[in-house]
Amino acid sequence: MANPVLVEVLRGAIVESAHRGAVAVFDGDGKPVWEIGDTTKPVFPRSAVKAIQALPLIESGAADAYGFGNRELALACASHSGEPAHVELARSMLAKAGLDQSALECGTHWPSSHDAEIALARGGGSPNALHNNCSGKHAGFLCTCVHSGIDPRGYVKAGHGMQEMVRDAMQAVTGTVHGADERAIDGCSIPTYAVPLRSFALGFARMATATGFGPERAKAAKRLLSACMAEPFFVAGTGRADVALMEAAPGRIFAKGGAEGVHCAAIPELGLGIAVKCDDGASRAGDAMVAAVLAKLLHADEALSARLLGLANEAIESRIGAKVGSLRPTAAIG
* Contacts (CB under 8 A) with its own copies, residues 265-284: 278-282
Q: Shortest gap between Cβ of 284 and its own copies (angstroms)?
A: 9
Contacts of 305 (CB under 8 A, 6+ apart): 295, 296, 298, 299
Consecutive H or E run containing 254:
strand 254-258
Of 65 and 158, the one with the shorter C-beta distance to its own copies is 158
Q: What share of the chain is helix, strand, coil (3-state, %, to 5)?
A: 45, 20, 35
Contacts of 294 (CB under 8 A, 6+ apart): 245, 253, 255, 265, 267, 274, 308
DSSP one-letter string for 31-70? -EEEEES-SSSEE--GGGGHHHHTHHHHHTSHHHHTT--H
Q: Shortest gap between Cβ of 16 and its own copies (angstroms)?
A: 5
- Applying CB under 8 A, does 78 fall inside the site for its own copies? no
Q: Name which position in 26, 44, 68, 200 contacts its own copies (CB under 8 A).
A: 44
- Tell me if 79 sits within 8 A of 236, measured CB to CB: yes
268: DSSP letter: G
- Applying CB under 8 A, does 331 fall inside the site for its own copies? no
Q: Shortest gap between Cβ of 124 and its own copies (angstroms)?
A: 7
| Residues in contact with its own copies, shown as a per-residue x/- string from 299 to 328 under the rule CB under 8 A | -------------------xxxxx-xx---
Q: What number of chain residues touch its own copies (CB under 8 A)?
A: 52
In the chain, the amino acid numbered 3 is N
Which segment (15-23, 92-100, 265-273, 296-304) binds its own copies by CB under 8 A? 15-23
Q: Name which position in 102, 122, 215, 303 contacts its own copies (CB under 8 A).
A: 122
Which segment (16-24, 63-71, 93-101, 268-276) binds its own copies by CB under 8 A? 16-24
Of 2 and 303, the one with the shorter C-beta distance to its own copies is 2
- Applying CB under 8 A, does 157 fall inside the site for its own copies? no
- Tell me if 261 sits within 8 A of 42, measured CB to CB: no
Q: Shortest gap between Cβ of 301 and its own copies (angstroms)?
A: 32
- Tell me if 140 sits within 8 A of 76, measured CB to CB: yes
| Residues in contact with its own copies, shown as a per-residue x/- string from 159 to 198 under the rule CB under 8 A | -----------------------xxxxxxxx--x-x----
Q: Name which position in 111, 261, 268, 271 contacts its own copies (CB under 8 A).
A: 261
Nearest to 188, CA basis, from 126, 120, 131: 131
- Applying CB under 8 A, does 215 fall inside the site for its own copies? no
- Applying CB under 8 A, does 260 fall inside the site for its own copies? yes
Q: Which residues bind its own copies (CB under 8 A)?
A: 2, 9, 11-14, 16-20, 42-44, 105-110, 114, 117-118, 121-122, 124, 132, 182-189, 192, 194, 260-261, 278-282, 285, 318-322, 324-325
